[in-house]
């Protein structure tokens, strides 16, 4: 689906979302009434200092308005912007600020939903998609926390060794199916059905008290130990 088709399916009654270069800001009506705040990245734009600040500002404005309106994050980005200027300004801190704004919104009662409709990777993926309460995707999305060549540089393992591990261990492998198996992606939506209906169904589902990604990863056999380790750490912390 093109971005225009996605927006038309999400908001058949229209919306006020505008583009500012590679980012999107605005809102749209929900089928149940009320509105959803929208922020996003388009056209595989790398996420830099300036864009992260604008997106974070829009999220903070939604929190300041009060209420519990959901926040939808549309994602088709490259990784973080690899420029000397952004790195010298402390891009990691700006990306962390954006991620923390989204998590604060969730703690304030705003259901934050990430919709991955294209690509995303590395810091940009973590600061947007992985910082939402519920991450869903459309078929054909291509997420990657880190590609295999980059993992090879960090771990000093060969590409061949990583490819072998990726065949049996989803945490080593990029791609939508692997990230869904680890529990990072809650669901892949049907692009032949109304996205407005699927968004409303997600928002109407009973809220969970905490992050369910580790539980999903265990159920889907993508991260079989994370949930048990997290529970053990939690129990020890309460003693």
Model confidence over 124-178: pLDDT tens digits? 999 999 999 999 999 999 888 887 888 888 889 898 988 888 878 887 678 888 8
* Angle (CA) 143 99 57, round 5°: 120
Q: Which of 23, 16, 33, 31 is nearest to 67 (CA)?
A: 33
| CATH class given for the domain over 3-138+189-207 | alpha beta
Alpha-carbon distances of 202 from 137, 206, 236, rounded to whole Å: 13, 9, 33
- Which stretches of the chain score pLDDT less than 50? none
Give the global pTM. 0.90
Above pLDDT 90, what percent of the chain? 63
**What are the residue boundaries of the structural domains of the chain, listed by start?**
3-138+189-207
Query: What's the pLDDT score for residue 75?
Result: 95
Q: Quick one: tokens of 134? A: 């519920």
Angle between helices 195-204 and 3-10 (to 10 degrees): 60
Query: What's the pLDDT score for residue 193?
Result: 95
Alpha-carbon distances of 89 from 50, 82, 86, 95, rounded to whole Å: 10, 12, 5, 12
Q: How far apart are CA 108 and CA 217, in angstroms?
A: 26
Looking only at the bridges linking them, the beta strands covering 23-29 and 112-116 are unpaired
Model confidence over 211-220: pLDDT tens digits? 788 889 899 8
Residues facing residue 19 across a β-bridge: 24
Query: What's the pLDDT score for residue 63?
Result: 95
Query: What's the pLDDT score for residue 172?
Result: 66
């Amino acid at each position: 689906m093109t971005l225009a088709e996605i927006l038309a399916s999400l908001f058949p009654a229209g919306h006020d979302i505008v583009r500012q270069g590679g980012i999107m800001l605005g809102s749209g009506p929900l089928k149940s009434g009320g509105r959803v705040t929208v922020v996003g990245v388009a056209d595989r734009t790398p996420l830099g200092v300036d864009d992260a600040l604008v997106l974070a500002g829009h999220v903070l404005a939604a929190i300041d308005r009060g209420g519990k309106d959901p926040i939808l994050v549309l994602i088709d980005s490259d990784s973080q912007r690899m420029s000397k200027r952004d790195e010298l300004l402390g891009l990691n801190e700006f990306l962390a600020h954006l991620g923390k704004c989204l998590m604060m919104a969730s703690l304030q009662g705003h259901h934050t939903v990430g919709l991955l409709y294209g690509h995303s990777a590395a810091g940009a993926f973590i600061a947007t998609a992985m910082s939402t309460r519920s991450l869903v995707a459309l078929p054909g999305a291509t997420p990657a926390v880190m590609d295999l060549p980059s993992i090879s540089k960090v771990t000093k393992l060969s590409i061949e060794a990583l490819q072998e591990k990726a065949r049996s261990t989803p945490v080593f492998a990029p791609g939508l199916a692997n990230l869904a198996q680890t529990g990072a992606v809650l669901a892949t939506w049907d692009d032949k059905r109304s996205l407005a209906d699927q968004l409303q169904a997600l928002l109407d589902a009973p809220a969970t008290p905490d992050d369910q990604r580790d539980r999903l990863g265990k159920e889907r056999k993508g991260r079989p130990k994370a949930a048990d380790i997290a529970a053990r750490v939690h129990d020890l912390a309460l003693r």
